Amino acid sequence: MVSIFIVDDDENLHRVYRSFFTMKGFSVIGSAFDGAEAVELFVTLNPKPDILLMDYRMPIKDGVTATREIRGIDPASKIIFLSADETAREPALAAGALSFLVKPVKFVHLLQAIDTLLNKH
Amino acid sequence: MSEQSHQDKFQRLVEAAEVLIIGLDSRGRITLFNQKCEEVTGYSREEVLGKSLFTLLIPSEERKDARQRFKKLLAGEKPKFAPLTSWMTKSGVQRFMQWNTAIFMDTDGQVSEIYSLGIDITKQREAEDKLRYSEELFRVLAENAQDVVYLYSILPERKFEYVSPAVTKVTGYNPEEFYDDPDLVVKIVHPEDLPILQGALRDPTSFTEPSEIRWIRKDGDTIWTEQQSTVIPDEKGNLVAVHGVVRDITERKQVIDEMERARNLAEFLVDLMAHDLNNINQGIMSAMEILQHDPSFPESLQGRLNDALSQVERSAGLIDSVKRFQRVDIEPVTLRRMDVYPPLQSAIEAVERNFPTKSILITNNIRERQYYVTADQFLSELFFNILHNAAKFDRSERVTIDVRADLTSDERFLRVNIMDHGPGISDDEKARIFSRMTSRRTGVRGTGMGLTLVGQILHRYGGNILVADRVDEDYTQGASFVILLPKGEV
């Protein structure tokens, strides 16, 4: 079963992502509401999630910094960046995100991105 | 030497002299008139000898004064300086002379002859007049200018030679205060801008570009000034003075600052709207997609759900347009020569992707590296918006759009004609489309934002757009958008 870790400061999005992934038979093994919490939680997770969904603008620590730190901890981690801010594309990919999708994202495109990452890597 | 020999020599000397030599008797009648006098006045000696100097050569308005001076001369009064008189030539032109006079007495002590040596100073006088006029003109301009005009000498000592009265209005200090204290100009500079002025005083050549310097007025207010200076070197190249103009640009700075603040606020609001609304859109879209995939969701309501979902997509599309609009607005204009084919092709592909349920056929006669235009990265955006509108308003499932390009007859523009088979645009609507494009007023419905963006991009390029009917006189057969793009010069 594909395991997912959701990082976003929007509680509502956590709910809809979780519903969707559960419906599709994925397992949501972690949720964080800011970058700092994401890094802390990621360290404790064992096994590590197959996919991380990462927002950009979050309190305490932004998604680009969190991505860099998580990739530092586990260079094999697969992070999909989801942001409404297109200017984050370049820094996100430079920090180690493997995919960048602009919100609002259709689930079909999100699934495609997950599929590509899991098959490619 | 005989008397005759003396006379001959004197005569030759008089004739060869490059100065005017005139002899008069005690009544002012001309007794001697040398060659130079003939040359300057146009009169021959024969014409003047025995005639009165005053009536023949002195202009009528000076005649009275000249007679007065002559009388004093006869009475033995020596003039304090070489008198200046003017003569009227035979052709009526006034010339100015400066004279030295010698008086000869007879044995009875009476004046017998008067000889005057003169030089023609007309040219010098004209030059002086011109200079006086220029100085007067400069004074009038400087004294009435809103800007401060100044002349500041550096060598042999630092001091103001001239400061125009406008300095009082600009700084609150009057010109005398600047004359009395040459350092006042440094004392009133805002501390943060002092290094600029000190640098300029050390090396005045660095001060030739306009500089913006803050001054603190006598009343304590801070003002912005723009200073434009020119250095004056002496013949050895040493800088001896600086002259220039100081303009109060406080209001201009305030307007620029306000514009900057307004622009930042607009950018902030667009960013906030784009980011936060799209996050909200994400929540709505995801929730509806879950319902779409939920087997328990009633089949009868699927249509409504799809409608709602397409509205969310439209909202996201609008936000995207606003962001692109803003990008075109703030991006600096750097145009370059570019092949029109790649941006057109990328727009065609993007339009085809945007309508997955329609069959889109876009034909075009443009080949790679065939036509070059002067444009930038927004050219694809321009084509996309027109093609996208054409595809959107064509209700049929098979959409055909034809793109044809050629050069205008003067070869200054590439004409790209985008013809659709949609419902067409009535003449009333054509006028409305253009007013939206030029006024930048946009509407959220229909083509508002897209065509406004097209107008904005074409404005960057110095291009133009025309809307016509694909088939003359029948707008219902589809529209034809003719874009004129400045040709790319090699």
Write out pLDDT tens, residues A21-33: 998 899 999 999 9
Contact in structure between A50 and A116 (CB atoms under 8 Å): no
Give the best residue of A28, A103, A111 to mutate against chain B (max B CB count within 10 A). A103
Residue A113 scores a pLDDT above 90 = yes
Q: Tell if the CB–CB gap between B282 and A103 is shorter than 8 Å.
A: yes
Among all residues of chain A, which has the CA nearest to that of B289? A107
Chain A positions touching B275 (Cβ under 8 A) are: 57, 84-85
User: From CA B409, how far away is CA B354, in angstroms rounded?
Assistant: 36
Task: Tell me how many helices (H) and strands (E) chain B has.
Answer: 16, 17
Q: Tell if the CB–CB gap between B290 and A84 is shorter than 8 Å.
A: no
Q: Tell if the CB–CB gap between B312 and A20 is shorter than 8 Å.
A: no
Chain B positions touching A6 (Cβ under 8 A) are: none
Q: Is B248 exposed, middle or buried (0-12, 13-18, 19+ CB in 10 A)?
A: buried
CA-to-CA dists, residue B19 to A103, B88, B105, angstroms: 98, 17, 24
- Closest approach of chain B CAs to the CA of A82, in angstroms? 10
The pLDDT score that the predictor gives to residue B147 is 92
**Per-residue confidence band for B441, with pLDDT thresholds at 50, 70 and 90:** very low
Among all residues of chain B, which has the CA nearest to that of A9? B279
Write out pLDDT tens, residues B379-429: 998 999 899 989 988 888 899 999 999 999 999 999 999 999 999 988 888
Location of structure tokens 């003359």: B472
Write out pLDDT tens, residues A49-108: 999 999 999 999 999 999 999 999 999 999 999 999 888 999 999 999 999 999 999 999
Chain A positions touching B289 (Cβ under 8 A) are: 20, 106-107
The pTM score is: 0.54
Q: Tell if the CB–CB gap between A85 and B293 is shorter than 8 Å.
A: no
By C-alpha distance, which of B2, B53, B4 is closest to B27?
B53
Helices (H), B102-222: 122-144, 166-171, 175-180, 184-187, 194-202
Write out pLDDT tens, residues B214-223: 999 999 999 9
Of A16, A57, A103, the CB nearest to B290: A16
Give the best residue of A4, A16, A81, A86 to mutate against chain B (max B CB count within 10 A). A16
By C-alpha distance, which of B358, B351, B343, B354 is closest to B313?
B354
Write out pLDDT tens, residues B305-354: 888 888 888 788 778 877 877 877 777 788 999 999 999 999 998 888 77
Residue B8 scores a pLDDT above 90 = no
- Closest approach of chain A CAs to the CA of B327, in angstroms? 12
Q: Tell if the CB–CB gap between B286 and A17 is shorter than 8 Å.
A: yes
Write out pLDDT tens, residues B246-282: 999 999 999 999 988 988 888 888 888 888 899 999 9
Among all residues of chain B, which has the CA nearest to that of A85? B275
The pLDDT score that the predictor gives to residue B440 is 46
DSSP 8-state secondary structure symbol assigned to residue B473: T
For residue B88, how far is the Cα from the chain centroid?
A: 48
Chain B positions touching A10 (Cβ under 8 A) are: 279, 282-283
**Per-residue confidence band for B144, with pLDDT thresholds at 50, 70 and 90:** confident
Q: Tell if the CB–CB gap between B281 and A104 is shorter than 8 Å.
A: yes
The pLDDT score that the predictor gives to residue B1 is 55
Of A23, A86, A104, the CB nearest to B282: A104
Overall size of chain B counted in residues: 490
Of A17, A103, A106, the CB nearest to B278: A103
Chain B positions touching A23 (Cβ under 8 A) are: 290, 293-294
Of A17, A84, A107, the CB nearest to B279: A84
Q: Is B118 exposed, middle or buried (0-12, 13-18, 19+ CB in 10 A)?
A: buried
User: From CA A24, how far away is CA B485, in angstroms rounded?
Assistant: 51
**Per-residue confidence band for B2, with pLDDT thresholds at 50, 70 and 90:** low
Chain B positions touching A84 (Cβ under 8 A) are: 274-279, 282
User: From CA A82, how far away is CA A92, in angstroms rounded?
Assistant: 10
Question: What count of CB pairs under 8 Å joins A to B?
Answer: 54
Q: Tell if the CB–CB gap between A106 and B279 is shorter than 8 Å.
A: no
Chain A positions touching B285 (Cβ under 8 A) are: 104, 106
Q: Tell if the CB–CB gap between A84 and B271 is shorter than 8 Å.
A: no
Of B278, B279, B286, the CB nearest to A107: B286
Of B276, B285, B290, the CB nearest to A104: B285
The pLDDT score that the predictor gives to residue A103 is 92
Chain A positions touching B313 (Cβ under 8 A) are: 104
- Please spell the DSSP secondary structure of B271-300, one letter per residue: HHHHHHHHHHHHHHHHHHHHHHH-TTS-GG
- Closest approach of chain B CAs to the CA of A96, in angstroms? 22
The pLDDT score that the predictor gives to residue A45 is 93
Chain B positions touching A17 (Cβ under 8 A) are: 286
By C-alpha distance, which of A95, A101, A61, A65 is closest to A81?
A101
**Per-residue confidence band for B444, with pLDDT thresholds at 50, 70 and 90:** very low
Average pLDDT, integer, range B8-25: 87
Residue B438 scores a pLDDT above 60 = no
**Per-residue confidence band for B204, with pLDDT thresholds at 50, 70 and 90:** low
Collapsing DSSP states into helix, strand and coil, what is residue B441? coil
Q: Tell if the CB–CB gap between B283 and A13 is shorter than 8 Å.
A: yes
**Per-residue confidence band for A34, with pLDDT thresholds at 50, 70 and 90:** very high
* Assembly ipTM: 0.89
